[in-house]
Amino acid sequence: MPGDNAAQTTTVTDGPLKIGFSQATQQSPFYVALTDAAKAEAQAQGDEFFYADANGDVTKQNNDVQDLITRGVNVLVINPVDPKGITPSLAAAEAAGIKVVTVDRPVESGAAAFVGRDNKAMGQLVGKAAVDTLGPAGGKIIEIQGDAGGAVARDRHDGFQAAVSAQPNITVIDGPYCDYTRSKAVTAMQDLLQAHPDLKAVYAQNDDMALGALQVLTENHRADVKVFGVDGLMEAVRAIADGDQYIATALNDPNAEGKLAIQTAAKVARGESVPEFVDAGTGLVDKSNAPSLVGQSTFAAE
């Protein structure tokens, strides 16, 4: 049958690889660092690196992947704009015999491996820190969310809730989706502060949004409101080390993740066995270890 040959995977046994990387967006320091690390690792391995930025548009991402396939890549690394919306890309890759590794955001099926972190565990680490900080008195926590329908946002929400749900005196209010961007979080926080003047803490699903919330709290002289984020953005780590308002974040080093994604893609392209989930690891950053993690990189790393 004609389809049988199309589905055969081409394994590269030796020589340089052509690695295609379809990035969801560059509108975040995390994704910029992830892309840079992926490119650097591909070059260090002696492989060719083909890159496309979907700019948050799943239709563009599907077109980008088709273009990368046309350019003859041996393996694809995809950070999906929408895990369900890239189904055409996964089908096209399969038809071309090209295996896919997803990074940062998983898909339900169609990828040889997912390189990322346990976002539920990250949310839970930060949630426990919030419980410890607020103590028996508890209070109201505003949660500023990432993207609607995204697996990362869902898991960071669920993990945080798992940590705080047993505390009867803590109430979590679901805030708006701010797409992981600081400017949107600033706008949202201005409204949230007026609507909830009695809030005790803000949990944002990434540090960029948390820093936006912190900016608004500072402008309104609300040093009493504690702030929690995720990602280990160095600016947040410095705020934790130097002050008493930003309390905790969870490590999500994009450099390690980008490097690991390319290493995994190379193994997949050469027919080596890899786990379905390749864990890049995490850990809590708080006052106890933030000073030792401060450095010149964009994100903290253990």
Task: Give, in words, the CATH class of 119-251+285-292.
Answer: alpha beta
pTM above 0.75, yes or no: yes
Q: What pLDDT score was predicted for residue 149?
A: 83
Q: Which residues of 33-69 are buried (b: 16+ CB within 10 A; e: fewer)?
A: bbbebbbebbeeeebebbbbbbebbbeebbbbbeebb
Q: What pLDDT score was predicted for residue 1?
A: 33
Question: pLDDT averaged over consecutive 10-residue blocks of the chain (302 residues)?
Answer: 43 85 92 96 97 97 98 97 95 97 94 96 98 97 93 94 95 96 97 97 97 98 98 97 98 95 97 96 96 94 83
Q: Which CATH number fits domain 18-116+254-271: 1.10.10.10, 3.40.50.300, 3.90.180.10, 3.40.50.2300?
A: 3.40.50.2300
Domain 18-116+254-271 and domain 119-251+285-292 have a common topology: yes
Domain boundaries, the chain: 18-116+254-271, 119-251+285-292
C-alpha distances (whole Å) from 148 to each of 81, 106, 144, 175, 180 are: 11, 15, 11, 12, 11
Nearest CA to 102 among 259, 267, 279, 265?
A: 265
Q: Is the dihedral of CA 246, 239, 129, 259 positive or negative?
A: positive
Q: What pLDDT score was predicted for residue 38?
A: 98
